[in-house]
Amino acid sequence: MSLFIQLTLTGLTNGAILALAALGFVLIYKSSDVINFAQGEFLLIGAYVIFAMVGQFGLAWPIGMLLTILIAIALGVLVERLVLRPMIGEPIISVIMVTIGLSSVLKAIVSAIWGNVPQAFPPFIPTTPVNLLGATVGADRLWAIAISVLMLGLFSFFFRKSREGIAMRAVADDQTAALSMGISVKKIFAWAWSIAAATAAIGGALVANIVGVSGELAGVGLRVFPVVILGGLDSIPGAIIGGVIIGLLEAYTGGYIGQGLNQVLPFVVLIIILMVRPYGLFGKEIIERV
């Protein structure tokens, strides 16, 4: 029983972080129809920047976190302006490849600055073990869940109530109509990319606190695909629920079956979902059928 609770908590933590990465992914797809293969690298950059701020420059973590988010936002805007804007209206394979090229460049920059060796992260969230229902988990995992839930709540609020959030939903729904209502679609794209980069950076900081910083963190960029396909590529609640389901699935198969099955099972689920229900659990049923 304690193993079950342990695995559930691990799964929820991983799920929460996957959900944060998936949220940015969905946001970009929703507003600009771009599949971002560099989402994992955004997370990587977030983790390393906060590592530099807190671990190397010795800043207090709230300031470090704030600076990290600002840098992530700047990066998002820059990427949108320089790389993605010329790609508007290009075929889908070009858009996919340009984000892949971007991921390669970002990864190279990170490894050139910080090297390839995994490093311990100065934990700014307490890692003391906590006893919960008979299972022992690090407090940082609980914090990660709490922070993710908070972030996801904030974003739901942002999309429902704020001017920019509503404008983003309008652009996602119909770009032409949004343009004719006086919404600057370009600005919204920049918003989407900077929010995606910022959420990924926060996710990166949370992961780094749990497992340390290394190039491996970019692997989240691939693991996010089962999440978004399961939840629906254009659905924000889908990203959250998909993240939790995939996180739990990984944890249970890893804990009870092993054999590295936890790495492959999400992708098996992905193929099944694609065959049976390509728009996922909550996506809009507008996918083009062949």
Partner 1 sequence: MISGIFHQTYEKDMALRRTHTQKIRLVLIFIFFLAFPFFANRYALTLANQIGIAVIGAIGLNILVGYTGQISLGQGGFMAVGAYTAGILTARLGMPWWASTLAACFVTALVGVLFGLPSLRLKGLYLAIATLAAQVIILWVVTHWKVMTGGVDALVVPSPMLFGIKMNKDFNFYWVVWSLALIATIAAVNLFRTHWGRAFIAIRDQDIAASVMGVDLFKYKLLAFAISSFYVGLAGALIAHYRSIVTWERFTVDISVLYLAMIIIGGLGSVTGSYLGAIFMTLLPAVLTNLGSAIKDQFPAIDTLLPFIQQAAFGLVIIFFLIFEPEGLNKIWKNIKDYFRLWPFSY
- Helices within 115-235 (DSSP H only): 139-161, 163-173, 175-180, 185-211, 220-231
Residue 85 or 160 having the CB closest to partner 1: 85
Nearer to partner 1, 14 or 148 (CB): 14
Binding mask 12-41 toward partner 1 (x if CB under 8 A, else -) reads -----------------------x------
Question: Is 264 exposed, middle or buried, given 0-12, 13-18 or 19+ CB atoms closer than 10 A?
Answer: exposed
Query: CB of residue 255 vs partner 1: minimum separation in angstroms?
Result: 18
Of 131-150, binders to partner 1 (CB under 8 A) are none
Question: What is the gyration radius of the CA atoms in the chain, in angstroms?
Answer: 19
| Footprint on residues 243-262 left by partner 1 (CB under 8 A) | 259-260
Bridge partners of 119?
213
Nearer to partner 1, 44 or 54 (CB): 44
Q: For 127, phi and psi rounded to 5 degrees? A: -105, 10
Taking the complex as a whole, the smallest distance from the CB of residue 71 to partner 1 amounts, in Å, to 19
- Per CB under 8 A, the list member of 61, 158, 159, 267 interacting with partner 1 is 267
* Rounded-to-integer distance, Cα 48 and Cα 154, Å: 24
Beta strands in the chain (DSSP E): 129-132, 135-138
Residue pair 152/240 in contact (Cβ under 8 Å)? The answer is: yes
Query: Rule CB under 8 A: is residue 281 a binding residue for partner 1?
Result: no
Cβ atoms of residues 55 and 212 within 8 Å? no
Residue of 222, 237, 255, 284 interacting with partner 1 (CB under 8 A): 222
Q: Which of 219, 260, 213, 257 lies closest to 113, judged by CA? A: 213
Site string for partner 1, 87-116 (x = CB under 8 A): x--x-xxx-xxx-xxxxxxxxxx-xx----
| Interacting residues toward partner 1 by CB under 8 A | 35, 83, 86-87, 90, 92-94, 96-98, 100-109, 111-112, 222, 225-226, 229, 259-260, 263-264, 267-268, 270-271, 274-275, 278, 287-290
